[in-house]
Amino acid sequence: MQICSLRLCWALSTLLTIAQAIQVAPYLDTVQIGPYYARNCQSNNNIIATLLNTLRDVLQPVITDLGSSTSSDAYTTFFKDIANALYVREVFSNITKGVPAPPELGTPSWAPILICVDGRDQVTFSEDGRQVDAYTRCRILGEVPAMIFLKSPFIVICPVFFTHPGIPIQSTASCLTVDPHLNRFVQNGKSLIMYQLWYILHELVHYYVYATKESHLDIYGVNACLVLRSASAVLNAQSYVYYVANVWLGCTSFPPPRTRRPGRGGSVELLEMDSNMTALNANESIALVVQNVSIRAAPPVQTSRELDPDLTS
């Protein structure tokens, strides 16, 4: 098991490996929200429904942006190569539809299932031969808002998730500012993405990217995302989140593409990052990724009732 140090959590992936045999208590209440399932969210079902509905609306202009024949500045900033726009679009489109991940990967075909864990023995998985409780894991790095079990439909929503702000105010005033001399954003991007809406998006991106590419990346800081090659950016959940947040807020200020050589014309390369970029507290990491999950039994989805998305938005 690899747990990142406090200082590196933001920049490095917070991988937790070798999870197997995830078990979900069968008594947890299940609600269907559009194509998605929410389990054990109870009084928070409406919050989850609002987030999923908002996400669907937020993604529409993004999907449009990705359908155009030229790259927008936001796309170029985070994904670079327009050749990948179709794939990125497919990820977002599948999120809006809650498409079940293809079963070929050894996973039963399920739309993502969000499980609000608020106590022990609700979700457990075996890791390094020990059975680990997701509730405990929610707290192991301080306070983790959410985690995803790769190769399974399960996304765990931890208790602290609900203490974060839900949906950002849609205003260009929230955009990050660019330092033209350093050719990078002034901030590390935290202010943009520490919202429930973006945590959910982050996990859902992992879900679809892993289902189609069997790989994932967790680079969090916005300036670290800027330097990813296109092929890496499409694996990195947070690159998608920054891109969507920038489109949605209407941001127009991005560091120019890296065409100049380091040191020329007073500009330095992005790779010269200061240590602040990676220095974030443990409880500011977005999500844990739990790999190598095998599902012992198909997830029991007994729909007890359905929330009408249109009534809850």
Ligand X SMILES: *[C@@H]1O[C@H](CO)[C@@H](O)[C@H](O)[C@H]1NC(C)=O
- The DSSP bridge pattern shows strands 113-116 and 154-157 to be parallel
Which listed range, 64-72, 256-264, 281-289, 298-306, lies at the site for ligand X (CB under 6 A)?
281-289
Least distance in angstroms from the C-beta of 84 to ligand X: 11
Q: Which residue blocks in 10-104 are alpha helix, DSSP H?
A: 45-67, 73-78, 85-97
Binding mask 97-136 for ligand X (x = CB under 6 A): --x--x----------------------------------
Task: Pick the binder of ligand X from 14, 30, 77, 94 (CB under 6 A).
Answer: 94
For 36, the enclosing helix (H) or strand (E) is strand 36-39
Would you count residue 16 as binding ligand X (CB under 6 A)? no
Task: Pick the binder of ligand X from 28, 47, 58, 91 (CB under 6 A).
Answer: 91
Rounded to an integer, what is the distance from CA 83 to the centroid of its chain?
A: 22
Spatial strand order of the sheet with 287-290 comes to: 15-16, 287-290, 146-149, 154-157, 113-116, 36-39, 30-33, 305-307
Gap between the Cα atoms of 89 and 65, Å rounded: 9
- Residue 116: Cβ within 10 Å count: 25
Asked if 106 and 257 touch (Cβ cutoff 8 Å), the reply is no
Using CB atoms, what's the residue nearest to ligand X?
A: 281
Gap between the Cα atoms of 44 and 57, Å rounded: 20
Asked if 10 and 142 touch (Cβ cutoff 8 Å), the reply is no
Closer residue to ligand X, CB minimum distance, 204 or 307:
204
Instruction: Please state at what angle helix 237-249 crosses helix 196-213, rounded to 10 degrees.
Output: 130
Would you count residue 166 as binding ligand X (CB under 6 A)? no
Least distance in angstroms from the C-beta of 284 to ligand X: 7
Number of residues that bind ligand X (CB under 6 A): 18
Least distance in angstroms from the C-beta of 135 to ligand X: 18
- Within 250-279, the residues that bind ligand X by CB under 6 A are 274, 276
Task: Pick the binder of ligand X from 71, 291, 312, 313 (CB under 6 A).
Answer: 291
Would you count residue 191 as binding ligand X (CB under 6 A)? no
Least distance in angstroms from the C-beta of 163 to ligand X: 8
Least distance in angstroms from the C-beta of 261 to ligand X: 23
Would you count residue 18 as binding ligand X (CB under 6 A)? yes
- Tell me the longest C-alpha to C-alpha distance in the chain: 64
Footprint of ligand X (CB under 6 A)? 17-18, 90-91, 94, 99, 102, 142, 208, 211-212, 274, 276, 281-283, 291-292
